[in-house]
Amino acid sequence: MTTFAGAAPRRWTWAGYLAAGFVVIAAYYVTVISSAPQLLRVALYCAVSVSAFVAVFYGCVRNRPAAKLPWVLLGLGQIVYATADTSFYVAHYILDDLAFPALADVFYLGHYPLVVAGLIVLIRSRTPGWDLPAVLDAAMLAVVGGMLSWLYLIAPQATGTAPMLVKVASVGYPMMDLAMFAVALRLVLGQGRRPVAFSLLSLSLLSFVVADTVYVVQQVNGTYSAGNFLDAIWLSGNLLLGASALHPTMGKVAEPVPFGAPVPGPWRIGALCTAVLIAPATVLIENARGAHSGIPVVACACAVLFLLTIARLAGLVSQQRKLAITDALTGLRTRRHFEAQMVPELARARRAGGSVAVLIADVDHFKSVNDRYGHPVGDEVLIEIGKRLREAIRPGDHLARYGGEEFAILIRDAGPDDPAVIAERLRQQVADRPIVVSGDVWIGATISVGTASYPLHGDTPGELFGAADRALYSAKAQGRDRVVLADLSGHPPVDQHAVRSLTLDLEKVADEVDGWLSNHEHSKVVGYWSGLVATGMGLAPEVAGRVELAGRLHDIGKVLVPQEVWTKEKPLTDEEWLLVRQHPEFGCRLAKTVAGLDDVAEIIRQHHERFDGTGYPGGLAGAHIRIEARILAVCDSWAAMLAERPYQKALTEDGAVRELLSGRGTQFDPDVVATFLTLHRHRRLGPLPLLDPAGKAPAGRA
């Protein structure tokens, strides 16, 4: 990397400018308290004001921001402000002219519209959308500020006995300050990066608002005099504006940012709560003072604050709902939302005698993208593919991110040829042009698509997903980058011998995984216990058989995660934990390769969901989790707690009982725990068996 000799000094120009400016401010106050010439005092003060607009325009030339207009407007505003300072202090100190209003007040008031316009342009550059939460929060704070300004600054000036020009000027300052305050609030509370230049600019605006407000209060009280502490605040505001333009991050202040509408933090909530409480507190203060004339204004402010608060709460509810059904990476709907949409769509199709199609698209060779370019590039690829798929679907159809690199599409009112036509359009939309990740990195991406439709391939969501998934596997097996439709012959007879053979193969996979993880049996005994619990809960025999098989196969997805992850004794990295948390999805996919195991596959996928909704992979809660998966979760945990692990000592049975009891209602279904512990007390479960030593592999992570 080439280093230029002047780069470091230029990087710290802003700090040098601030240091020199504060020295000038100190020198100015020396002239105030001494008998120094008045001309020197004026020169020092005005030098700071003038330096600020010079710094702004120099910063525009040096830092070359993409959005120059807001800085140009701020710079022009500072020119007008510096002219006002020069006029005021020359008249005050040299000409001994204390008239109010004067020519300086015209310039002071005239700089506000330029500053407000610059801030508005800056806001629009940063957040092109409305950013309604920031607008509402800023409005609430501005309403409180406006109420206080009216009661204690504007009304006393407007109702006084002063001449009309004095009233106009006196009212103009708090009105203009209020406008700048409201826009500044919107800027500060909005979304986007907050580089150092942004913070310096925000502090500059705060300085001006505070100083102007105190100035008007002193004018009302008749206590203002030039050269008091307010000059230091005004001059500091000038310096901060210049420093913000000189800082190297000045060009980033106006950069557009995606709107994410994050949940407000404690400081923001505290500020809003305080603001809302100020209005009723003001009513009590005004009533105690006997100043009842201001109470109507406060009542109107309370009403506006109430409406803004309701709007903000409604926005938060809408935001939370959207976050719950939106994939954070791609902005598409989540798998959970997609599956929920399947139920009413199938019901509507049954009533109308219509059809619904499901498409599952998988990005080909996506692991190689992550391995070669890294996960950030992989994320960019997924985001772009999501955009392309969104552009290719029909209005009214549903698109979701179904898994890691999988997408699902629900097609309403699907005609006989629609699934194939739409799937091919999706495939072409992705494959037609490479994905540009950066200037020199172009990645060619393709997808494989499997399709199934109601009523040809099933009557339930599980049957349709299973058929589409098998079609997707067929597309992968045929070479990828293609569309495969599920068998249109309806529901072909299942070869039970083939099913049993494939199931036995999966059971061997489960046994192999057990050997990685512990010297105790796991899958076999979990399946056995699960069947006992289902029977003990009075569930139908077919349910007990289903959960027993799911327990037998629940860990098969672990075989797709590198063995060294499971046998690692040190804490896992974030990337390794991500892999671990995917094993229920992997197991589900493996089980679905066997005809007739769609329900078993779904149980496997849900066996790490928690009763309180904090589990994975879908964040399901309560009755939304299949009863079989809730049973399996308890039996799986019991077996894991009793087994010796490299990173965890085995618990005693009493210790495991305490863990189950403490997890009731959070991790586990309380009814399942009650049945399981009843079986345990009656010694129906038996001990956790050891693996056959001849087949044992190294112990590892469960």
Q: In the prediction, which pLDDT does 692 show?
A: 60
Q: In the prediction, which pLDDT does 113 show?
A: 94
Residue 499 has pLDDT above 70, yes or no: no
Q: Which pTM value belongs to this model?
A: 0.56
Among 449, 478, 487, which Cα is nearest to 359's?
A: 449
Q: Which H or E element spans position 410?
A: strand 406-412
Q: Which two tokens stand for residue 495?
A: 């070869």
Q: In the prediction, which pLDDT does 255 show?
A: 83
Poorest-confidence range of 33-42, 167-176, 667-676?
167-176
pLDDT in tens, 656-678: 999 999 999 999 999 999 999 99
Poorest-confidence range of 418-422, 639-643, 678-682?
418-422
Q: Angle 88-89-93 (CA atoms, 0-180°, nearest 5)?
A: 125
Average pLDDT over residues 667-693: 88
Half-sphere CA count of 493, side-chain side, radius 13 A: 3
Q: In the prediction, which pLDDT does 262 show?
A: 56
Return the percentage of the chain with pLDDT > 90, whole number: 33
Return the percentage of the chain with pLDDT > 70, whole number: 92
Q: In the prediction, which pLDDT does 631 show?
A: 96
| Residue with the larger pLDDT of the pair 650 and 180 | 180
Q: In the prediction, which pLDDT does 40 show?
A: 93
Average pLDDT over residues 229-246: 94
Average pLDDT over residues 212-230: 82
Q: In the prediction, which pLDDT does 261 show?
A: 52
Q: Highest mean pLDDT range out of 108-117, 290-299, 429-438, 693-702?
A: 108-117
Of the pLDDT bands very low, low, confident and very high (cuts 50, 70, 90), residue 498 is: low
Q: In the prediction, which pLDDT does 78 show?
A: 94
pLDDT in tens, 617-649: 888 889 889 999 999 999 999 998 998 766 567
**What stretches of 325-404 show up as alpha helix (H) in DSSP?**
335-352, 366-373, 375-392
Contact present, 189 and 138 (Cβ < 8 Å): yes
Of the pLDDT bands very low, low, confident and very high (cuts 50, 70, 90), residue 8 is: very low
Residue recorded with tokens 């009793």: 642
Residue 427 has pLDDT above 60, yes or no: yes
DSSP-derived letter for residue 645 is B
Residue 339 has pLDDT above 90, yes or no: no
Of the pLDDT bands very low, low, confident and very high (cuts 50, 70, 90), residue 414 is: confident
Q: In the prediction, which pLDDT does 625 show?
A: 92
Average pLDDT over residues 678-682: 92
Residue 331 has pLDDT above 50, yes or no: yes
Q: In the prediction, which pLDDT does 260 show?
A: 54
pLDDT in tens, 255-306: 886 555 556 778 888 888 888 888 889 888 888 888 777 788 888 888 988 8
Query: How far from each other are the two terminal CA atoms of the chain, in whole angstroms?
Result: 46
Of the pLDDT bands very low, low, confident and very high (cuts 50, 70, 90), residue 158 is: confident
Distance CA 91, CA 34 (A): 20
Residue 514 has pLDDT above 50, yes or no: yes
Burial (CB < 10 A; 0-12, 13-18, 19+), residue 553, is buried
Distance CA 157, CA 224 (A): 15
The one-letter amino acid at 692: D
Q: Which H or E element spans position 670?
A: helix 670-681
pLDDT in tens, 548-606: 999 999 989 888 888 787 777 777 787 788 888 888 998 988 888 787 788 899 999 99
Residue 650 has pLDDT above 90, yes or no: no
DSSP output for 58-107 = HHHHHH--S--HHHHHHHHHHHHHHHHHHHHHIIIIIS----SS-HHHHH
Q: In the prediction, which pLDDT does 231 show?
A: 92
pLDDT in tens, 435-491: 887 767 788 899 999 999 888 888 888 888 888 888 888 888 788 888 888 875 444
Burial (CB < 10 A; 0-12, 13-18, 19+), residue 290, is exposed
| Residue with the larger pLDDT of the pair 9 and 340 | 340
Q: In the prediction, which pLDDT does 129 show?
A: 65
CA quadruple 614, 616, 620, 626: dihedral sign = negative
Q: In the prediction, which pLDDT does 681 show?
A: 92
* Chain centroid, CA 32 distance in Å: 52
Burial (CB < 10 A; 0-12, 13-18, 19+), residue 34, is exposed
Residues in the chain: 702
> Mean pLDDT score of the chain, rounded to an integer?
85
